[in-house]
Amino acid sequence: MSDQLTIEKEYQKFHEEVDLLKTLKHVSIVTYLGTCLEDNTLSIFMEFVPGGSISTIINCFGPLPEIVLCKYTKQILQGVAYLHDNCVVHRDIKGNNVMLMPNGIVKLTDFGCAGRLAWVSLRGTQSEMLNSVHATPYWMAPEVINESGYGRKSDTWSVDCTLFEMATGKLLLASMDRIAAMYYNGAHGG
C-alpha cells in the first residue's frame, strides 16, 4: 500500500509539472497536453515533433550552414526568452532537447528539469537562483556545477553551448569525458 501511495505522490508531482507546462503557449515550445497514470505506468502526452533533434541532424549531416544556424538560434532564443518572461528556467537546454518540425520550426522540449524561478517578496526583490544541480555536464554553467544557483544566466550558458554544437558539430570540451568537462568548467569558470 505504501508503494502505491509513493507512486501516486510522484504522479501528482509530474501532473503538477505538466499542468505548468500546459500553460506555456509559444511556437518554439513543445505543447504539453496532459498525463495519465495507469497500472503504475506514467504517460505524458505532448505535441508530436517528427523532425528529430538538432543533435541527430548534426550527427547525420555535420555542422549547420550559417543561414540555418542563424534561423535556429533565433528561434531557440525566442523560446528561452518566452520561458524566462514566464518565470520558467529550462535547466537542460542542449541539442538533444531542441527538436525540429518538418517546416523548419524548432521546439524546445524535455522539461524534466524545468523549474519556476523562486520569488522572494522581501524588499520587493526577486531571487533567480534555484539551488539544485540539474542539466547535462557538457552544457552545465559554472554556477550550476559549483552549486551557487541556477537561473536565466545558466540557461543562456546552455544556449551558447548548443550554438557551439550547431556551428562546429562538436560538443564544447568534447575532448574531455563528461566528468572532467564538468570539473573544468566549475574550476575555470567556463
* Residues that are catalytic: 92
Would you tell me how many other CB atoms lie within 10 Å of the CB of residue 16? 11
Q: Residue 154: phi, psi to the nearest 5?
A: -70, -35
Beta-ladder partners of 119: none
Instruction: With beta carbons less than 8 A apart as the criterion, state whether 132 and 150 touch.
Output: yes
Four-residue CA torsion sign, 58, 134, 140, 89: positive
CB 93 within 8 Å of CB 134? no
